[in-house]
């Protein structure tokens, strides 16, 4: 069997596994790379060239720079800009979306969202606004902003570096801005004026509570010997506990959760798995004399504060269980409950495997303690509510950090230094002024780095085996009579559809050589064909799995899987209508 067939089968299987979403995308990409090495499609001495690829290095450096800017006090600065003023709903939405787009043009999307999400929730609570009205637009604005510069999103970095391998140079730093700014500005105006009305709003959770009302938190409660619930049937217990409380099951001897009938009577020592809003759990524990099982306690304290913290996509808890959490959070954090969109609770809380987007209800002694704050950050958790907007720790460090970053952008913009070298210089500057420390390696989203490093040799194999040329030739023969407009339209639709179901960086790696090949086969310049892939790879608006930003807001926004296309589909149509004419105007 030829290398082209082997590579085709491998890529199709890889895409299928990406869509299935059962396994981590970095593991899948690395596995596909190993298979292609074994099959001889990718030479062993070239298999790990991806780790030295400028695109991979640049992505890692951008992640470190993003964290450095946050550490310098960027979050506090943004908080003062937004939180210190009075807005109407419309004014706040417009301001929020433009700030999100500006931030994500220069730092990574998820970093921009991490800065703005707690601020947004704080203001929504203070103003008694429905957070669902703002969170999906916020996620979309963070994605849109990435279209504006070379470093705004991994697909742009990949596309620029790919262009440098098949032509004299890559795209300049602001080359993406011509199309990206038009798309971003018009899309934000559309979302603010019309699109936000398409968002499904569910039970308003703004009731003055310190906790977001994610109904359906999963708790384990132990029935004490003196409990007033002993002898009650489950139906009687639910009637007394309230209509929002549901008994999911009872923990059996094997640690599984056994389904129960309403006529079952409660006994001392049983561990009940209940589903209830987080604000109700304290009263349930008090009224019925229940307690949280001891195995969920890393320390004992009767007077604990409660906070909700989301597991972010880069968290070290992902794929781990409670024993790992206990090891890292010992003496600082108690795990009280877990919320997961669409959760079906089949095992004990201590045996659940944590996933990105999970929201943990944590018991802590004092949120203001530095050790607690550092522990939350170390675990990769994002508090969904903050008591007050973060302050700026050092104005001089913030100013120096911004200056270092601007210098690196100038060096790249005027082609004085390559992007990776300029940003490495910026990282060294950040280390000198101590806004990043010896733990900065933890700020790198290693799964995306591994996935990119594995996918780049696979993308190169598309060219070396001639597969991209074969695909491009076949498409070119079919589309020979099409105008350039309809060719770009077709490529944009395919790229958009692909990026909604697999990682956007993987989409760019696969689509870039095919799209550029079509352009060269038909005698066009490659720039419009690469630019349309860059735009399409960033348009992950139809599903919560298409982009990490969509995943993060799904919980606090109380969205369902199908909610995203209600706003995402009209937004995609608008982007198609704006981007293709702009690409034709600028790049042809």
Give 211-261 as a DSSP string.
Answer: S---S-EEEEEEE-TT-TTTT-BHHHHHHHH-TT-EEEEEE-TTSBEE---
Tell me what pLDDT residue 502 has: 83
Cβ–Cβ under 8 Å, residues 226 and 289: yes
Statement to judge: residues 38 and 187 lie in one domain: yes
Statement to judge: residues 142 and 180 lie in one domain: yes
State the Cα angle at 495 between 494 and 501, rounded to 5°: 95
Statement to judge: residues 183 and 233 lie in one domain: no
Is residue 392 a part of any domain in this protein?
Answer: no
Q: Which residue has the higher pLDDT, 204 or 340?
A: 340
Instruction: Dump pLDDT digits (tens) for 508-540.
Output: 999 999 999 999 999 999 999 999 999 999 999
Lowest-pLDDT range, 99-113, 323-337, 449-463? 323-337
Give me Rg for the CA atoms of the chain.
25
Residue 573: pLDDT band (50, 70, 90) is very high
Is residue 405 a part of any domain in this protein?
Answer: no
Residue 140, φ and ψ in degrees, nearest 5: -65, -40
Tell me what pLDDT residue 210 has: 45
Percent of the chain at pLDDT exceeding 70: 91
Residue 206: pLDDT band (50, 70, 90) is very low
Tell me what pLDDT residue 211 has: 46
For helices 3-20 and 467-478, what crossing angle results, to 10°? 80
Statement to judge: residues 56 and 145 lie in one domain: yes
Average pLDDT in the 210-222 region? 69
pTM across the whole model:
0.81
Average pLDDT in the 406-425 region? 93
Q: 523: left (phi > 0), else alpha (psi -120 to 50), else beta?
A: left
Is residue 404 a part of any domain in this protein?
Answer: no
Given 383, 400, 434, which residue is the final one in a domain?
Answer: 383
Statement to judge: residues 490 and 356 lie in one domain: no
For helices 54-69 and 154-166, what crossing angle results, to 10°? 150
Tell me what pLDDT residue 209 has: 46
Is residue 273 a part of any domain in this protein?
Answer: yes
| 3-class SS of residue 338 | strand
Statement to judge: residues 492 and 523 lie in one domain: yes
Both tokens of 473, joined, read: 């030739």
Percent of the chain at pLDDT exceeding 90: 49
Tell me what pLDDT residue 422 has: 95
Instruction: Dump pLDDT digits (tens) for 43-94.
Output: 999 999 999 999 999 999 998 998 888 888 887 788 877 876 788 999 999 9
Statement to judge: residues 221 and 198 lie in one domain: no
Lowest-pLDDT range, 205-219, 277-291, 368-382, 383-397? 205-219
Average pLDDT of the chain to the nearest whole number = 87
Cβ–Cβ under 8 Å, residues 149 and 176: yes
Residue 585 has pLDDT above 80, yes or no: yes
Statement to judge: residues 306 and 428 lie in one domain: no
Lowest-pLDDT range, 207-216, 256-265, 502-511, 574-583? 207-216
Statement to judge: residues 197 and 228 lie in one domain: no
Statement to judge: residues 82 and 197 lie in one domain: yes
Residue 227: pLDDT band (50, 70, 90) is very high
Tell me what pLDDT residue 299 has: 57
**Pairing relation of β-strands 271-276 and 334-339?**
unpaired
Residue 136 has pLDDT above 90, yes or no: yes
Instruction: Dump pLDDT digits (tens) for 349-402.
Output: 888 888 888 888 888 876 666 678 778 888 888 887 654 445 566 788 889 999
Is residue 389 a part of any domain in this protein?
Answer: no
Tell me what pLDDT residue 205 has: 43
Tell me what pLDDT residue 386 has: 54
Instruction: Dump pLDDT digits (tens) for 306-357.
Output: 788 888 877 888 888 888 998 888 777 888 888 876 555 566 788 888 888 8
Average pLDDT in the 484-501 region? 94
Out of 126-130, 141-145, 432-436, the most confident range is 141-145
Average pLDDT in the 187-211 region? 75
Is residue 99 a part of any domain in this protein?
Answer: yes
HEC-encoded secondary structure of 458-484: HHHHHHHCCHHHHHHHHHHHHCCCCCH
Lowest-pLDDT range, 165-179, 289-303, 451-465? 289-303
- CATH classification of the domain holding 250: 3.30.70.1450
Tell me what pLDDT residue 223 has: 93
Q: Which residue has the higher pLDDT, 368 or 4?
A: 4
DSSP 114-137: HHHHHHHHHHHHHHT--THHHHHH
Tell me what pLDDT residue 208 has: 42
Tell me what pLDDT residue 215 has: 60
Residue 138 has pLDDT above 70, yes or no: yes
Statement to judge: residues 195 and 240 lie in one domain: no
Instruction: Dump pLDDT digits (tens) for 145-180.
Output: 999 999 999 999 999 999 999 998 889 999 999 999
State how far the Cα of 243 lies from the Cα of 157, in Å rounded to an integer.
Answer: 51
Is residue 175 a part of any domain in this protein?
Answer: yes
Given 352, 383, 414, which residue is the final one in a domain?
Answer: 383
- Which domain does 319 fall in, by range? 217-383
Given 359, 383, 407, which residue is the final one in a domain?
Answer: 383
Residue 464 has pLDDT above 80, yes or no: yes
Tell me what pLDDT residue 137 has: 97
Statement to judge: residues 340 and 445 lie in one domain: no
Both tokens of 238, joined, read: 């639910």
| 3-class SS of residue 310 | strand
Tell me what pLDDT residue 390 has: 53
Is residue 226 a part of any domain in this protein?
Answer: yes
Cβ–Cβ under 8 Å, residues 524 and 584: no
Looking at the 3D structure of the chain, how many domains does it have? 2
Q: Which of 569, 505, 416, 446 is nearest to 159 (CA)?
A: 505
* Count of other CB atoms within 10 angstroms of residue 539: 29
Tell me what pLDDT residue 207 has: 43
Out of 135-139, 233-237, 340-344, the most confident range is 135-139
């Amino acid at each position: 069997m030829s290398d082209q067939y082997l590579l085709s089968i491998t890529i199709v299987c890889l895409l299928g596994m990406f869509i299935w979403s059962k396994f981590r995308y970095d593991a899948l990409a690395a596995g596909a790379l190993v298979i292609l090495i074994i099959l001889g499609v990718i030479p062993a001495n070239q298999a790990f060239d991806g780790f030295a690829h400028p695109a991979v290095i640049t992505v890692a450096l951008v992640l470190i720079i993003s964290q450095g800017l946050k550490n310098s006090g960027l979050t506090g600065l943004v908080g003062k800009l937004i939180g210190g003023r009075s807005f109407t709903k419309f004014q706040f939405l417009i301001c929020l979306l433009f700030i999100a787009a500006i931030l994500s043009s220069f730092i990574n999307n998820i970093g921009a969202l991490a800065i703005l999400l707690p601020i947004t929730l704080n203001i929504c609570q203070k103003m008694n606004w429905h957070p669902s009205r703002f969170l999906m637009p916020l996620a979309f604005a963070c994605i849109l902003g990435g279209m504006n510069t070379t470093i705004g999103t991994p697909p742009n970095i990949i596309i620029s570096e790919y262009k440098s391998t098949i032509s004299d140079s890559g795209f300049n730093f602001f080359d993406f801005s011509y199309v990206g700014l038009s798309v971003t500005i018009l899309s934000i105006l559309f979302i603010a004026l019309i699109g936000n009305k398409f968002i499904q709003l569910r039970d308003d959770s703004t009731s003055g509570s310190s906790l977001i009302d994610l109904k359906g938190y999963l708790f384990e409660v132990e029935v004490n010997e003196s409990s007033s619930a002993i002898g009650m049937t489950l139906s009687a217990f639910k009637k007394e506990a309230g209509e929002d409380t549901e008994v999911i099951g009872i923990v059996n001897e094997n640690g599984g959760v056994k389904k129960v009938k309403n006529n079952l009577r409660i006994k001392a020592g049983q561990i009940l798995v209940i589903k209830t809003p987080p604000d109700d759990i304290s009263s349930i524990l008090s009224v019925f004399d229940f307690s949280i099982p001891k195995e969920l306690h890393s320390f004992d304290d009767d007077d604990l504060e409660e906070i909700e913290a989301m597991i972010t996509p880069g968290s070290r808890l992902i794929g781990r269980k409670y024993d790992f959490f206990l090891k890292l959070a010992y003496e600082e954090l108690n795990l009280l409950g877990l919320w997961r969109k669409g959760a079906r609770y089949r095992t004990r809380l201590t045996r659940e495997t944590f996933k990105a987007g999970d929201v943990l209800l944590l018991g802590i002694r004092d949120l203001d303690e530095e050790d607690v704050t550092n522990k939350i950050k170390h675990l990769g958790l994002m508090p969904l509510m903050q008591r007050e907007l973060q302050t700026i720790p050092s104005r001089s460090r913030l100013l120096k950090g911004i200056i270092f970053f601007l210098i690196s952008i100038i060096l790249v913009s005027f082609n004085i230094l390559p992007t990776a070298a300029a940003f490495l210089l910026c990282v060294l500057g950040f280390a000198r002024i101590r806004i990043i420390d010896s733990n900065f390696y933890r700020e790198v989203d290693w799964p995306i780095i591994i996935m990119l490093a594995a996918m780049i040799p696979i993308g190169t194999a598309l060219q070396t085996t001639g597969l991209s040329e074969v695909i491009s030739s076949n498409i070119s023969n079919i589309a020979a009579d099409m105008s350039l407009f309809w060719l770009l339209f077709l490529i944009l639709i395919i790229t958009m559809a692909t990026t909604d179901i697999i990682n956007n960086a993987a989409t760019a790696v696969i689509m870039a050589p095919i799209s550029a090949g079509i352009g060269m086969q038909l005698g066009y310049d490659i720039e419009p064909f690469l630019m349309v892939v860059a735009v399409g790879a960033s348009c992950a608006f139809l599903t919560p799995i298409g982009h990490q930003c969509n995943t993060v807001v799904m919980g606090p926004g109380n969205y369902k899987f199908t909610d995203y296309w209600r706003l995402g589909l009209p937004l995609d149509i608008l982007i198609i209508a704006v981007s293709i004419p702009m690409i034709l105007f600028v790049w042809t």
